[in-house]
């Protein structure tokens, strides 16, 4: 698909002018979550399935201080002619966002991407910059049947204007660092109730820590590989519906992209699995747009 990129300030201006989604489409977006995909359930029946009495959002965390996670991105993806899926993403330079491959591999049109937002769907906040983008690079090894290489890049033709509310995150310098035991922060607009099929109206975040891939592999019966990184789900902490594609951060450095977890929800103590950024540093450098 040919690339497309448009800047819109004070987001909800004319859709005809900026080609962004309508307010109604934004409000009806379905939180993207790999474990709730029927095809995923067929491919991976051993991963715990949905449990209807769990509250699946970033649990055990708090609302983020508005505009404190300046790298956080919200992505609306048209996945059918009548449906919109929502995922997170991370700004890594002024022209590139990293997200999960499963957030964009089924798209049927261009993405609507919001930066500098605290509320979602975004309102008339002047901190927000929106882009309508179609230049997407999905890792060539991504395959839902093996849950490997769940990473993608979205590239803009024109650099995003940076501000106090929009700042790219740093990538790791040491590709050998496994971050085992490090305290992590993960953020997103995951949905706030299993009975409401909408995302959280505000950005939320939770603190956890990196666990060993061995422990994570035991939880997911061998699915987890070296290119994954996992955080503990202890004390009901973790990621869930709508958080896919979002950032896992250690000391201001992006170390993971939210990929999958237990569809039982975040409160059951299952680990959350991510694409390990240090496994993809060369791929990112080769495919990102020049800043």
Beta strands in 94-199 (DSSP E): 96-99, 111-115, 129-133, 135-138, 152-155, 183-188
The residue with tokens 């409160």 is 267
Q: What is the phi/psi pair of residue 38, to 5°?
A: -55, -35
Catalytic residue positions? 102, 150, 244
Q: Is it true that the peptide bond before 19 is cis, omega within 30 degrees of 0?
A: no
For residue 54, give both structure tokens. 């769990």
Strand partners, 231: 210, 272
Cβ atoms of 153 and 286 closer than 8 Å = no
Q: Indicate the helix (H) or strand (E) that contains 287.
A: helix 281-287
Closest to 116 measured CA to CA, from 103, 131, 127: 127
């Amino acid at each position: 698909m040919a690339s497309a990129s448009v800047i819109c300030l004070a987001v909800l201006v004319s859709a005809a002018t900026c080609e962004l989604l309508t307010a109604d489409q934004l409000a009806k977006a379905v939180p993207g979550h790999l474990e709730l995909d029927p095809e995923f359930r067929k491919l991976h029946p051993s991963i715990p399935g949905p449990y209807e009495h769990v509250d699946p959002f970033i649990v055990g965390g708090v609302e983020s201080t508005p505009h404190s996670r300046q790298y956080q991105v919200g992505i609306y993806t048209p996945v059918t002619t009548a449906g919109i899926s929502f995922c997170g993403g991370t700004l890594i330079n002024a022209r590139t966002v990293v997200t999960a491959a499963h957030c964009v591999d089924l798209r049927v049109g261009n993405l609507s991407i919001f930066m500098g937002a605290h509320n979602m769907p975004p309102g008339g906040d002047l901190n927000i910059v929106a882009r309508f983008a179609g230049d997407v690079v999905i890792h060539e090894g991504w395959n839902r049947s093996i849950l490997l290489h769940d990473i993608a890049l979205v590239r803009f033709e024109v650099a995003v204007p940076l501000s106090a509310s929009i700042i790219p995150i740093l990538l790791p310098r040491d590709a050998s660092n496994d971050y085992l035991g490090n305290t992590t922060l993960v953020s997103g607009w995951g949905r706030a109730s299993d009975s409401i099929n909408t995302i959280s109206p505000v950005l939320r975040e939770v603190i956890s820590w990196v666990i060993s891939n061995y422990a994570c592999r035991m939880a997911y019966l061998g699915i987890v590989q070296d290119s994954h990184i996992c955080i503990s789900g202890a004390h009901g902490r973790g990621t869930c519906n709508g958080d896919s594609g979002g950032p896992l951060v250690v000391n201001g450095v992006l170390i993971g992209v939210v990929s999958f977890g237990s569809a039982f929800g975040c409160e059951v103590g299952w680990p959350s699995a991510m694409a390990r950024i240090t496994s993809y540093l060369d791929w990112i450098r080769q495919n990102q747009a020049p800043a």
